[in-house]
Amino acid sequence: MTETPPRVQREVVSFVRRSARMNPSQEKAWREHADWVIRVPKRLTSTSVASDAHVDWASVFGRDAPLVVEIGGGTGDVIAAVAAAHPQRDHVAFEVFEPAVASTLSKCARAGVANLRVVVANGVDALGTLIEDRSLAELWTFFPDPWHKKRHHKRRLVSRPFADLVAAKLADGGVWRLATDWADYASAMREVLDDHPVLVNRYNGWAPRWEDRPQSRYEAKGIAAGRTIYDLCYGIREGGRR
Ligand SMILES: C[S@@+](CC[C@H](N)C(=O)[O-])C[C@H]1O[C@@H](n2cnc3c(N)ncnc32)[C@H](O)[C@@H]1O
């Protein structure tokens, strides 16, 4: 009798699986910059991160520098520009979609970036496992998937449990920058984050557009559709964590 394989308990994640087919220029970037992609052990799915996985970022980058993480950067419009403009910081992208990662590599190579690494993984897993507590100078979540339907809201990246994780990972003085073009998601973010015991809204309301942030593909789509862009920025509340 053949044994039935154990069922994999499906986690609620903020992304859907898509075809990982790359175009020729993405394939070329993927090959040429393979050393910028950090491979980590997985659990059950290809986007998961094993709970005992570890990356020593100082030895990966060969220096101790302020560490910036972006989750869901897509094709890398923001990280390529900002990493090039801030060579004194180290930048790590957690993105699940390989063709988008390949485009990020290609953009970074064109911009002459030397301070970027990428992990193809669920950023929630990766942030929890691969980043030390109280170590991050910045975390970015720009234009996360909006998951419009009410029954899909549980898939939204920005939620109270995720905020707890970010609050644990930011260094004192670290910042979490967010942006979205969906008014209801923006309000939901404010509701969760303004009430957070450890995080503090750095602007007591919507943040001004971060001047370093170039317009990304999804921001451009939102603007073309006539939507307002909401920026948010949170730090660590003084005395908020003991
Ligand atoms: C709507 S797109 C926005 C891309 C980019 N930030 C921009 O503004 O153009 C969302 C991106 O987040 C990625 N993503 C969604 N959930 C993720 C997760 N948990 N970890 C890593 N990447 C994720 C998707 O693959 C996609 O590339």
Compute the half-sphere exposure of residue 125: CA atoms within 13 Å on the CB side of its CA: 26
For the question of residue 194 being annotated catalytic, the response is no
Below-70 pLDDT ranges, the chain = 1-10
Helix/strand/coil (H/E/C) assignment for every residue in 179-233: EECCHHHHHHHHHHHHCCCCEEECCCCCECCCCCCCCCHHHHHHHHCCCCCEEEE
Q: Which atom of ligand 1 is nearest to the CA of 141?
A: 6
- Residue to mutate (ligand 1; options 11, 12, 13, 14; most atoms within 8 A of CB): 14
Measuring from atom 1 of ligand 1, which residue has the nearest CA? 145
CATH code for position 163: 3.40.50.150
Using an 8 Å Cβ cutoff, are 23 and 165 in contact?
A: no
Q: How far apart, in Å, do the first and last CA atoms of the chain sit? A: 57
pLDDT at 171: 98
Domain for residue 1, yes or no?
A: no
Q: Which atom of ligand 1 is nearest to the CA of 100?
A: 27
Using an 8 Å Cβ cutoff, are 32 and 109 in contact?
A: yes
- Residue to mutate (ligand 1; options 122, 145, 177; most atoms within 8 A of CB): 145
What span, in angstroms and rounded, lies between the C-alpha atoms of 26 and 209? 30
pTM of the model: 0.95
Q: What distance in angstroms lies between residue 75's CA and the mean position of ligand 1's atoms?
A: 9
CA torsion sign, 124 to 130 to 133 to 137?
A: negative
- Nearest-CA neighbor of 133 among 209, 67, 64? 67
Measuring from atom 6 of ligand 1, which residue has the nearest CA? 73
Q: What distance in angstroms lies between residue 3's CA and the mean position of ligand 1's atoms?
A: 37
Phi-psi bin for 75: left (phi > 0), alpha (psi -120 to 50), beta? alpha
Residues in contact with ligand 1 (CB, 6 Å cut-off): 13-15, 71-74, 77, 94-97, 100, 122-124, 142-145, 157, 216-219
Q: What distance in angstroms lies between residue 238's CA and the mean position of ligand 1's atoms?
A: 31
Q: Which atom of ligand 1 is nearest to the CA of 74?
A: 27
Catalytic residue among 125, 145, 181, 231: 145
pLDDT at 17: 79
Domain for residue 150, yes or no?
A: yes
**DSSP letter assigned to residue 44:** S
Domain for residue 139, yes or no?
A: yes
Q: In sequence order, what DSSP letters do the residues of 123-165 get, joined into one string?
A: HHHHHHHHS-TT-EEEEEEES-----SGGGGGG-S-SHHHHHH
Domain for residue 8, yes or no?
A: no
Q: What distance in angstroms lies between residue 222's CA and the mean position of ligand 1's atoms?
A: 15
Number of domains the chain is built from: 1
Residues of the domain holding 193: 24-236
Mapped onto helix, strand or coil, the DSSP state of residue 103 is helix
Domain for residue 7, yes or no?
A: no
The single-letter code of the amino acid at 222 is G
pLDDT at 64: 98
